[in-house]
Amino acid sequence: MLQISAANHNFHSSDLTFADENSLQKMARKCRGDILRMTTLAGCGHPGGAMSSVDLLITLYACARVNSTQPADMERDRIIVSHGHTSAGVYSVLGNFGFFPIDEAIAHFRQAGSPYEGHVEHGLPGVEWSSGNLGQGLSAGCGMAVASLVHDLRNHVFVLMGDGEQQKGQISEARRFAVKYGLTHLTCVVDLNQLQISGSIRHVMPQNIRANFESDGWRVLEIDGHNFQEIYRAFHEAVHDRDHCVAIISRTVMGKDVSFMENVCKWHGQALPADLFAQAIAELEQVNDLDRYRQLRHLGTEHLTIRPRPPFQPDIATGGSFLYTPDKLTDNRSAWGKALAEITRQNLERESATPIAVFDCDLTGSVKTDGFAEINPRNFFQSGVMEHHTAVAAGALSTQDVLVFWADFGVFGVDEVYNQLRINDINETNLKLVCTHLGVDVGEDGKTHHCIDYLGLLHNLYHFKTIIPADPNQTDRAVRWLMRQPGNIFLGMGRSKCTVITKPDGSPFFDEHYTFHYGKADILREGADISVITMGAMAHHAVNVADTLAAEGIGAGVYNFSCAKQMDLDTLSRACQTGLVITYEDHNVHTGLGTMVADLLCRHGLAVKLHKMGIQDYVTSGEPKDLLTAVGLDEKTLNLTIRRMIEQYAKSVKETSDLEKTVKLAKNI
Ligand SMILES: Cc1ncc(C[n+]2csc(CCOP(=O)(O)OP(=O)(O)O)c2C)c(N)n1
């Protein structure tokens, strides 16, 4: 096992000792052989970039403050590999440095059920962030560098990236963020091998990487990315420069050290066939031991383990609650902002409290993060119009023992950044995403701003919980609940002020005795004739309609399913007892609550007549109440729909009994 000298550990002295340089060179040769072993055995992968990046990786994992025996130590440096396709390079280094058995990584690379995935996987010790979609790693690095500020750590964050990857716009967002927040303990390294999948980076998409970094305020160093002394010195400079974020542009050679692979872009994403592997491994002066690994691969992957992130249990005091009374309209977003500010105040001086951080994308007043910003400005991150970056930075920070909120409009916090949220979900983050201005409630801003598809999008993300509270009281209690939860949670609300939902006696439904339970539905009104299933801003319309119909003797039950992704089956079964169900929502009718209800009804054999009321197409600008009328979601239309369904049902029952009578007559029974 490679042991670096104390002088070079943590980039302490300014030069690499001769002995350490020799050790790193030897290790590089071994790692290049292992990259080829892995990819040839798997018959796929990305050997070319892995071989150009590997000297940078070796220097980092050898000299940075990381320890294979304590890979989760809080004080460790964070190393993020943004060009996750170079996984064979990363695994070869981590395996040879003892983070896991190298033979295991070689034998099971890209095999079904194995943690040694095609793109780097955070379930492995030493891997901080699963990447694969290019352009996101620097944002993850920013999030982890913010964690150092929040926890007052003295560590360093390193991000490795490809050069083709630099074409991605999100990187410029991350560069600006890093400079604005003085993340001088963040260093990035660009592997400048001049090639990407389709050829030379100059032909695919010309760029000026150095100028891009410099114009955003970074200090840039240029080095030979295969010269260990130069690599080490650059890291040493970067780590000790407390005035700049430093980018190290490293000139490298794709396929380095195998003559026929060097500078050939075909090897970016292609494994060597067995005959070329034999040639290459001979050039690297190593034995061709592929058969041994083939045998190990045949053993399968059942014995391999993936380590989930350590559980996150925020310690937050959430005592008390605000009670909103029916005599006044209040918007849910104000209820969220007020609860956030009050809980922040409660926890600010508590020694054991988990730190809270809030990200905002230039919508502070609208998404009600201003109260937090005033109370805890140090942990408030104004990220401007940089949602892609923010989604990832906030997600990465949430893996570092910080309770992280990102508040935005629905169209920017979900639609704009769907893939970033997906990567967060894959990374098992603990992000609390709070989106306002959902549905057509945004009204006059028009169709670009009507977020009507968020529920369907978030339904795709296996680990995201969704909560769409019905009124300010439920919002307050949901915020208090989610403050103490691990995992990704979405809290959604509209823009307008809304009516406080009441019990039939006129008192608040979600009163001082109410506690939010994730997955529990609320029966807002009982009714034996028909059931309306709804959530969020539409709930009070359904209650109004039910109350009007009750006065005429029609029993419409109203069910608030604020947690659509974990539906309360008992309450759903109860709603189905009427035989008639309407789902009522201001979402895309194809992917919203109605479709989720229909799915559940089918899966559990609950037979009802179901009518889905939702949005059929994009909607124009207009006042929210007019838009609800335009799309057939106003109270009058709900009222008529309920009556029509009940009438049709009665008619069909009558027709059935008439038919039965006729049949009986015909049979002379
Ligand atoms: C967002 C995104 N778009 C496209 C891809 C597909 N892809 C994988 S690697 C690659 C080229 C990357 O080039 P570079 O960063 O220079 O890596 P190298 O070729 O040096 O390994 C592309 C386009 C991706 N992984 N992510």
Spatial distance between the Cα atoms of 318 and 308, rounded to a whole number of angstroms: 28
**Cα torsion angle, 368, 369, 373, 375, sign:** positive
Question: Band of the pLDDT at 270, cuts 50, 70, 90?
Answer: very high
Task: Please give the model's pTM, rounded to 2 decimal places.
Answer: 0.96
What pLDDT score was predicted for residue 334?
A: 97
Centroid of ligand 1 to alpha carbon of 88 (angstroms) = 15
Q: Which residue out of 138, 268, 417 has the highest number of ligand 1 atoms within 8 Å of its CB and is therefore the one to mutate?
A: 268
Give the helix ranges, DSSP H, for 8-63. 18-42, 47-63
Q: Pocket around ligand 1: residues whose beta carbon is below 6 Å from it?
A: 46, 48-49, 83, 85, 132-135, 162-165, 191, 193, 195-197, 268
Alpha carbon nearest to ligand 1 atom 20, residue: 49
Centroid of ligand 1 to alpha carbon of 206 (angstroms) = 15
Residue 152 Cα distances to 146, 355, 445, angstroms? 9, 11, 42
| Proportion of the chain above pLDDT 70, given as a percent | 100
Q: Which CATH architecture has domain 330-498?
A: 3-Layer(aba) Sandwich (3.40)
The string of pLDDT tens digits covering residues 116-156 is 999 999 999 999 999 999 999 999 999 999 999 999 999 99
Centroid of ligand 1 to alpha carbon of 194 (angstroms) = 12
Work out which ligand 1 atom sits closest to the CA atom of 135: 1
Centroid of ligand 1 to alpha carbon of 459 (angstroms) = 28
Work out which ligand 1 atom sits closest to the CA atom of 163: 16
Spatial distance between the Cα atoms of 613 and 468, rounded to a whole number of angstroms: 17
Pairing relationship of beta strands 246-251 and 219-224 according to DSSP bridges: parallel
Question: Band of the pLDDT at 659, cuts 50, 70, 90?
Answer: confident
Centroid of ligand 1 to alpha carbon of 427 (angstroms) = 20
Centroid of ligand 1 to alpha carbon of 196 (angstroms) = 7
Alpha carbon nearest to ligand 1 atom 16, residue: 164
Centroid of ligand 1 to alpha carbon of 656 (angstroms) = 64
If one counts every other C-beta atom within 10 angstroms of the C-beta of residue 240, the result is 12
Work out which ligand 1 atom sits closest to the CA atom of 49: 21
Question: Band of the pLDDT at 654, cuts 50, 70, 90?
Answer: confident
Alpha carbon nearest to ligand 1 atom 23, residue: 197
Per-residue pLDDT, averaged over 647-664, amounts to 83
Per-residue pLDDT, averaged over 212-232, amounts to 98
Centroid of ligand 1 to alpha carbon of 171 (angstroms) = 14
Asked which of 299-308, 385-394, 483-492, 513-522 is least confident by mean pLDDT, the reply is 299-308
Pairing relationship of beta strands 380-382 and 219-224 according to DSSP bridges: unpaired
Spatial distance between the Cα atoms of 5 and 27, rounded to a whole number of angstroms: 15
The string of pLDDT tens digits covering residues 609-639 is 999 999 999 999 999 999 999 999 999 999 9
Q: What angle do CA 410, 413, 419 make, to 5 degrees?
A: 125
Residue 443 has pLDDT above 90, yes or no: no
Residue 347 Cα distances to 316, 340, 342, 355, 372, angstroms? 7, 11, 9, 8, 12
Alpha carbon nearest to ligand 1 atom 19, residue: 196
Centroid of ligand 1 to alpha carbon of 187 (angstroms) = 21
**Cα torsion angle, 258, 262, 268, 270, sign:** negative
Q: Which residue out of 82, 136, 196, 253 has the highest number of ligand 1 atoms within 8 Å of its CB and is therefore the one to mutate?
A: 196
| Start-end of CATH 3.40.50.970 domains in the chain | 19-298, 330-498
Alpha carbon nearest to ligand 1 atom 25, residue: 133
Centroid of ligand 1 to alpha carbon of 455 (angstroms) = 31
Question: Band of the pLDDT at 331, cuts 50, 70, 90?
Answer: very high
Per-residue pLDDT, averaged over 295-324, amounts to 92
Question: Band of the pLDDT at 669, cuts 50, 70, 90?
Answer: low
Tokens 């709804």 -> residue:
534
Alpha carbon nearest to ligand 1 atom 22, residue: 197
Question: Band of the pLDDT at 309, cuts 50, 70, 90?
Answer: confident
Work out which ligand 1 atom sits closest to the CA atom of 201: 16
The string of pLDDT tens digits covering residues 45-90 is 999 999 999 999 999 999 999 999 999 999 999 999 999 999 999 9
**By three-state DSSP, how is residue 441 classified?**
helix
CATH topology of domain 522-653: Rossmann fold (3.40.50)
Centroid of ligand 1 to alpha carbon of 174 (angstroms) = 18
Work out which ligand 1 atom sits closest to the CA atom of 193: 20
Alpha carbon nearest to ligand 1 atom 11, residue: 196
The string of pLDDT tens digits covering residues 345-383 is 999 999 999 999 999 999 999 999 999 999 999 999 999
Q: What is the DSSP letter of 592?
A: S
What pLDDT score was predicted for residue 305?
A: 81
| Start-end of CATH 3.40.50.920 domains in the chain | 522-653
Element (H, E) at 588: strand 580-588
Q: Find, among 286, 277, 207, the residue nearest to 249 by Cα.
A: 207
Q: Which residue out of 35, 39, 85 has the highest number of ligand 1 atoms within 8 Å of its CB and is therefore the one to mutate?
A: 85
Centroid of ligand 1 to alpha carbon of 134 (angstroms) = 6
Q: What is the DSSP letter of 502?
A: B
Centroid of ligand 1 to alpha carbon of 17 (angstroms) = 35
Burial 167-202, CB ≥16 within 10 A → b, else e: bbebbbbbbbbbbebebbbbbbbbbbbbbbeeeebe
Q: Which residue out of 35, 197, 252 has the highest number of ligand 1 atoms within 8 Å of its CB and is therefore the one to mutate?
A: 197
Centroid of ligand 1 to alpha carbon of 197 (angstroms) = 7
Average pLDDT over the chain reads 96
Question: Band of the pLDDT at 441, cuts 50, 70, 90?
Answer: confident
**Between 1.10.10.10, 3.40.640.10, 3.40.50.970, 3.40.50.150, what CATH number should domain 19-298 receive?**
3.40.50.970
Per-residue pLDDT, averaged over 301-324, amounts to 91
Question: Band of the pLDDT at 534, cuts 50, 70, 90?
Answer: very high
Tokens 């009516």 -> residue:
499
Per-residue pLDDT, averaged over 246-250, amounts to 98
Cβ(81)–Cβ(54) below 8 Å: no
Cβ(61)–Cβ(160) below 8 Å: no
Centroid of ligand 1 to alpha carbon of 137 (angstroms) = 13
Work out which ligand 1 atom sits closest to the CA atom of 254: 20
